[in-house]
Amino acid sequence: MGNPTVADPGRQASDAGDAGLAAALAAVRRRGDEMIALTRRWVEVNSFSTHVAGVNAVGALLREGFALPPLACTVVPGGPAHGDHLIWRTPAAAHAAPILLIGHHDTVFPPGHFEGWREDLGRAFGPGALDMKGGLAVICGALAALDEVGALAALPIAVISVADEEIGSPSSTPHLQALARGAACALVFESGRAGDAIITRRKGVAALAVRARGRAAHAGNQHKEGANAIWALAKFIDAAQQQTDYARGVTVNVGLVTGGTSKNTVPEHAECQVDLRYETVAGVEALVTELAACAAAAAQAVPGTRVEVERGPSRLPLERTAASAALRDEYAVCARAAGLGDGEAALLGGGSDANTVAPLGVPAIDGLGPRGAGFHTTAEHVELASFVPKAEALLRFLWGRRAPRQ
């Protein structure tokens, strides 16, 4: 494993034998401050997923940042509930299977919760600095360097930044999948992990809304006539939580419960929100079937109630395949040459848009953005020294894909 921020001098010497690559590497290494400045500009505009005006304001700034002559931009409306999605293509992408570069410009922090940009001891703190406006800046820096040396237009590249990833990509999924069906591979620039470990596996994620219906009655005078929806839901919750099986990588988490109207009324309604995580497609189908049985049993245990299960947004798992392992190995060579770590990440519990595209058969790897920590917390920060080597790794990968290997 190389030094995490300084490229190997021996490799730099061998790069000089390819004058075009050497010029491109010099161009990307000059862009460190530019990538950081872009990230700061994007971070300073709040783009909470449901703050559509803010998401689209960041989208407008992204179009300025990615305004490179070979890149043609398409704006895909997200509809009234979501911001617009952005797709850029090079001319060569019309004639060959493109390399798909994936990012998102929405964040998890509502306006006023966690704002601004602050630098301290080589780190920058701010909403989306790591997850994942920094990753978008890495893509932008690498493509700008390739354009500077006249190499970008001939590379078949499609870039997409979606506006709804943090809420499960409900609007952007069809567009992601359409791009993935014709892609050679997919590289996802989510937050870089410790040691620059490349992600090849993520659990699938699914959401359930479970609603119990009963019969209201006065708790003192007519308790016997009531049917307690909260009681029925509680029985479901107890059974559902017991479906967690760590050995199979399956977890069930009931994270939000609401119900009732007052303490002296038998509740006629109750609801819970359930988060499911799983490693295989077969695993989730079996799990949902079992949870439906838990709901039926809960309703039967409390006469006069019914319990209904509704499936919400979901992402299939990112499963490691022979093709994605080969892609990881290819990218690891480029990361190592850029002075980065080259390991493989352990299975992750959180999903990303790698989960959205990989089940279609396109090889996909993830976690290629700049390093940092604290994503989804107010301690979110990015390591400023990691921007250049991360962009260099991408540039090296793309350069290696310029033409068929000899």
The CATH number of residue 49's host domain is 3.40.630.10
**pLDDT tens digits for the chain (406 residues)?**
333 444 454 455 567 669 999 999 999 999 999 999 999 999 999 999 999 999 999 999 999 999 999 999 999 999 999 999 999 999 999 999 999 999 999 999 999 999 999 999 999 999 999 999 999 999 999 999 999 999 999 999 999 999 999 999 999 999 999 999 999 999 999 999 999 999 999 999 999 999 999 999 999 999 999 999 999 999 999 999 999 999 989 999 999 999 999 999 999 999 999 999 999 877 888 899 999 999 999 999 999 999 999 998 889 999 999 999 999 999 999 999 999 999 999 999 988 999 999 999 999 999 999 999 998 999 999 999 999 999 999 999 999 998 654 3
Residues 185 and 47 in one domain: yes
- Which residues span the domain enclosing 305? 204-315
Q: Which helix (H) or strand (E) holds 213?
A: strand 204-213
Is 345 inside a domain boundary?
Answer: yes
Listed in order, strand segments (DSSP E) in 279-358 are: 306-315
Pick the closest to residue 172 from 39, 54, 59 (CA basis).
59
The CATH number of residue 237's host domain is 3.30.70.360
Q: Is 239 helix (H, G, I), strand (E, B) or coil?
A: helix
Number of domains in the chain: 2
Residues 303 and 209 in one domain: yes
Listed residues 315, 342, 370: the one ending a domain: 315
Residues 61 and 98 in one domain: yes
282-290 own/partner pairs: CB under 8 Å, 24+ apart: 283/204, 283/248, 283/249, 283/250, 284/204, 284/206, 284/314, 284/316, 287/243, 287/250, 287/252, 288/206, 288/208, 290/243
Residues 196 and 243 in one domain: no
Residues 302 and 162 in one domain: no
Residues 41 and 188 in one domain: yes
**C-alpha span between 394 and 151 (Å, rounded):** 14
Is 3 inside a domain boundary?
Answer: no
Is 386 inside a domain boundary?
Answer: yes
Residues 174 and 233 in one domain: no
Is 151 inside a domain boundary?
Answer: yes
Residues 198 and 211 in one domain: no
**C-alpha span between 20 and 400 (Å, rounded):** 12
Q: List the structure tokens of 116.
A: 């601004």
Is 377 inside a domain boundary?
Answer: yes
Residues 68 and 194 in one domain: yes
Listed residues 315, 336, 354: the one ending a domain: 315
Is 2 inside a domain boundary?
Answer: no
Residues 335 and 285 in one domain: no
Residues 165 and 102 in one domain: yes
Residues, the chain, total? 406
Is 406 inside a domain boundary?
Answer: no
Q: Is 284 helix (H, G, I), strand (E, B) or coil?
A: helix
Residues 238 and 271 in one domain: yes
How much is the pTM? 0.88
Dihedral pair phi/psi, residue 149, rounded to 5°: -100, 10
Listed residues 268, 286, 315: the one ending a domain: 315
Tell me which amino acid residue 406 is.
Answer: Q
DSSP structural state of residue 110? -
- Angle 32-43/387-400 helices, nearest 10 degrees? 110
